[in-house]
Amino acid sequence: MKISLGWLKEFVEVPAEPRELRRDLTMLGLNVESISAARDGWVLDVEVTTNRPDCLSHYGVAREAATFYRRALKPLEFPVKESAEPASSEIAIEIADPDLCGRYCGRVVQNVEVKPSPEWLQKRLEAVGQRPINNVADVTNYVLMELGHPLHAFDLSRLRQRKIIVRRAKTGEHLRTRDDVDRALGSENLVIADAQRAVALAGVMGGEDSEISSSTRAVLLESAWFEPVSIRRTAKAQGMHTEASHRFERGADIQMAPVALDRAATLIAELAGGEILRGMVDVYPRRELHEPLLLRRSIILRVLGAEISWEEVERILRGLGFETERRGTEGWRVTPASFRLDVTREVDLVEEVARHYGYDKLPTRLRSAPPRVEKDLVREKELAISARLVALGYREIIPSSMVDPAENARFTDRPPVVLANPLSQEASALRSSPIPSMLRALRWNLDRGQNDVRLFEVGKTYSPRAEGLADERRVLTLGLTGHRKPVAVYEGEKEKVVGIFDFKGDIETLLEAFEIPGLRFEPEGCRYFDSAQGGRLVAAAGTFAVFGRLDAATMDYYKLRQDVWLADVDLDLLLKTSLRTFTFREFSRFPAVERDFSLLVPEGRSYHEIEGAVRGLGLETLQSLSPGDVFRGGAIAAGHYSLLLRVVFQSPTHTLTSEEVAGMSQQVLGALERLGIRLRT
């Protein structure tokens, strides 16, 4: 809402510079976005929150200023010079649907001369962002900006049988509004009609046919009060938003209707000539009185933490147009003003007191919440996960959760959560797979010449459920492409691209932060991975991670030209798993003995089986075992491969003798023999 300083000063003395006024209004909750100079002087752009339609006018802002600066607010008195002829002889007004129209005031001005407004009025309207049209229309706009009450002017001669009926539209009824749109109406729309047809969309916009034109001689001025919810519905349904609907849907002042009407009628008579017919036609079916509210002093203290004097509370509330009446020592009976539809509860009055007392003057107190014993385990785990991933070189990303459902469907059969009013097709559903987001992130970087990329995302997937809200699952996604290490040859380091064991090792290192007994690899990947280059890590609690190299078809789809590795980690499962705890284990002070076994292994035997067989022996002195070299071809018999298995023995109690080592080596070989594995000769 643009407020002209000069106009404001017609209602209240402002003992402040524009800059100070800006600050003071802001401190009252009327945030001033900017101050600018117009032809008519300083203009303040005031941001008015949706609960304060009373401040959508110069008079409303003046009331706030008057209360704040402790100055008098000029009363609204507009004496009307009327002609002898009664208005009622020219117009009959009927409210057929009083639930939607609480009051309808009308005045008739005859023998007007429609022409451009005088300079001063045009300047004022321009200063507050309104385009001057003609003197009659301009007056209605002027009064709207001044008093905040929307008015409408009809060309009286266009109203059939000089009749106004405020009623719901009939099914199939049409109205061509002033913006030249033919609007189909229904019973949810309130219209202003004459004897035959709708002539205005009540509280939103007038009809084209009854609009003021240069040939208009007699004007019917409407000043009404419409039910906010109905105006909001109508404006929304018709896709309209006007100065009038903006105020009516927020709640206009029912008692301002006749005042604004008198103001407009006298201004029209002044600027366009003509006579105001005697009497206002005032149909007022809903004389609702504002229920008085009880304001307890104890509540002010309880909410604001401050004692505010009786007098100060009264000064503020009265200044704002409320009636107050003391109730013993308890507090007040307060009758809210008709223009303050937002004030319906005791606490609303507390806010009024606080606003004008000054938030900055209210006390300040810093207290902690009661101390808590329990730890935030989820947060602890999340921090552990990201710390490990950062150490492994992964960068965190936060991609949009919104995806194209067709792209999403390549990666999962779970349906995504489809939006009813998406911004675009590419963002029309909440993903049910995290993979498309990760692939887009990798591609974004590859397209920009960044070829070594490691990313992770801690996010969610979403899928509708038959009952209740969506199934939201927490996921951790890893994406990896490019070189193993940055190209460097400090010690003959060669460029090497990432392979399955690099990636598997990263995931194993990540999972190592948790206590997962029996974690094992299973070769079954998923449909968008190369079958030979992926798999999953599984334990009794479930599948912790599925990972692998993106298959050729999906590479093509994303136009990727280098290998991409992806892992989908079940974060919900991981967060349910305990972090690894630490217990010191005594290490042996006796020497370790290393034995290398050069084995001939039948194809098909996995390292997992070999390790299982050796560990299955339960040798107390078995310290570690690891695969050394794998070799195929050459002298190796067909259907076999050669594996160098390195086994370390160490006793906690003594130096192992060569006999002991030989004995254990025999046991190892014996166990392996049962798998068809023997020593190479």
Partner 1 sequence: MTLEEKVGKTLAELGVSDAPAVEALFAEVRAAMDAERQELTSRGAADDRERDKLCKELRDRWLARKNGLMSLIDDNWLKKAVKELKPVVGRQFNDLRKASALMQVEELIRAIDSLRGRAAATSSAAGTLTDDLTLAGHARTTSTATGTLTDDLTVPGYRRPLGSIHPVTRVLREIEEIFLGLGFRIETGPEVESVYYNFDALNIPETHPSRDDWDTLYVDSKTLLRAHTSPVQIRAMEKYGAPLYIIVPGKVYRHDNPDASHSPMFHQIEGLAVDRDITFADLKGTLDFFAKKFFGEKVRTRFSPSFFPFTEPSGEVSISCVICDGQGCRTCKESGWVEVMGCGMVHPEVLRHGGIDPEQFTGWAFGLGVDRYAMMKYGINDIQLFFQSDVRFLEQF
In the window 249-278, what residues touch partner 1 (CB under 8 A)? 249-250
In this chain, which of 348, 502, 508, 572 binds partner 1, going by CB under 8 A? 348
In this chain, which of 23, 39, 286, 580 binds partner 1, going by CB under 8 A? 23
Helix or strand or coil: residue 30? coil
Q: How many residues bind partner 1 (CB under 8 A)?
A: 95
Cα–Cα distances (Å) from 201 to 106, 164, 238, 248, 282, in that order, read: 16, 13, 10, 13, 20
Q: How far is the CB of 96 from partner 1 (least distance, A)?
A: 22
Q: Does 237 bind partner 1 (CB under 8 A)?
A: no
In this chain, which of 37, 184, 195, 229 binds partner 1, going by CB under 8 A? 229
Q: Which of 411, 401, 415, 414 has its CA nearest to residue 550?
A: 411
Q: How far is the CB of 187 from partner 1 (least distance, A)?
A: 18
Cα–Cα distances (Å) from 413 to 243, 249, 549, 551, 649, in that order, read: 50, 46, 20, 18, 50
Q: Are 249 and 228 in contact (CB under 8 A)?
A: yes
Q: Which of 648, 640, 652 has its CA nearest to residue 665?
A: 648
Query: Which of the ranges 129-137, 186-194, 419-427, 615-623 carries the binding residues for partner 1, by CB under 8 A?
Result: 419-427
Nearer to partner 1, 26 or 665 (CB): 26
Please name the residue that has the structure tokens 């104890």: 298
Residue 251 CA to residue 254 CA, distance in Å, equals 9
* DSSP secondary structure of 208-229: STT---TT---EEEEEEEE-HH
- Judged by CB under 8 A, the chain residues 183 through 222 that form the site for partner 1 are none
In this chain, which of 72, 195, 391, 532 binds partner 1, going by CB under 8 A? 391
In this chain, which of 181, 195, 237, 390 binds partner 1, going by CB under 8 A? 390
Query: Which of the ranges 188-196, 370-378, 508-516, 555-563 carries the binding residues for partner 1, by CB under 8 A?
Result: 370-378
For residue 311, which phi and psi values (nearest 5 degrees)?
-65, -40
In this chain, which of 1, 3, 7, 29 binds partner 1, going by CB under 8 A? 29
Nearer to partner 1, 345 or 608 (CB): 345
Q: Does 427 bind partner 1 (CB under 8 A)?
A: yes
Nearer to partner 1, 2 or 124 (CB): 2
Residue 94 CA to residue 193 CA, distance in Å, equals 10
Q: How far is the CB of 319 from partner 1 (least distance, A)?
A: 15
Angle at 109 between CA 103 and CA 111, to 5 degrees: 160
In this chain, which of 215, 368, 583, 658 binds partner 1, going by CB under 8 A? 368
- Judged by CB under 8 A, the chain residues 479 through 518 that form the site for partner 1 are 485-490, 492
Query: Which of the ranges 30-38, 75-83, 98-106, 310-318 carries the binding residues for partner 1, by CB under 8 A?
Result: 30-38
Tokens for 211?
A: 């609009």
In this chain, which of 76, 80, 133, 304 binds partner 1, going by CB under 8 A? 304
Q: How far is the CB of 492 from partner 1 (least distance, A)?
A: 6
Q: How far is the CB of 456 from partner 1 (least distance, A)?
A: 7
Q: Does 460 bind partner 1 (CB under 8 A)?
A: yes
Q: Are 574 and 456 in contact (CB under 8 A)?
A: no
Q: Does 582 bind partner 1 (CB under 8 A)?
A: no
Q: Does 624 bind partner 1 (CB under 8 A)?
A: no
For residues 354, 360, 362 and 366, what is the CA-based torsion angle, rounded to 10 degrees? 130
User: Under 8 Å CB-to-CB from 517, ≥6 apart: which residues?
Assistant: 539, 540
How many helices (H) and strands (E) would you count in the chain?
19, 33
Q: Does 372 bind partner 1 (CB under 8 A)?
A: yes
- Judged by CB under 8 A, the chain residues 437 through 456 that form the site for partner 1 are 440-441, 444-445, 448, 450, 453-456
Q: How far is the CB of 182 from partner 1 (least distance, A)?
A: 26
Q: Does 467 bind partner 1 (CB under 8 A)?
A: no
Q: Which of 112, 108, 137 has its CA nearest to residue 122?
A: 137
Angle at 224 between CA 81 and CA 246, to 5 degrees: 120
Residue 93 CA to residue 104 CA, distance in Å, equals 8
Q: Does 425 bind partner 1 (CB under 8 A)?
A: no
Q: Does 667 bind partner 1 (CB under 8 A)?
A: no
Amino acid making up residue 553: A
The H-or-E segment that residue 328 falls in is none
Q: How far is the CB of 409 from partner 1 (least distance, A)?
A: 18
The H-or-E segment that residue 372 falls in is none
In this chain, which of 422, 539, 646, 651 binds partner 1, going by CB under 8 A? 422
Q: Does 369 bind partner 1 (CB under 8 A)?
A: yes
Query: Which of the ranges 77-85, 154-162, 357-365, 558-566 carries the binding residues for partner 1, by CB under 8 A?
Result: 357-365
Residue 597 CA to residue 644 CA, distance in Å, equals 6
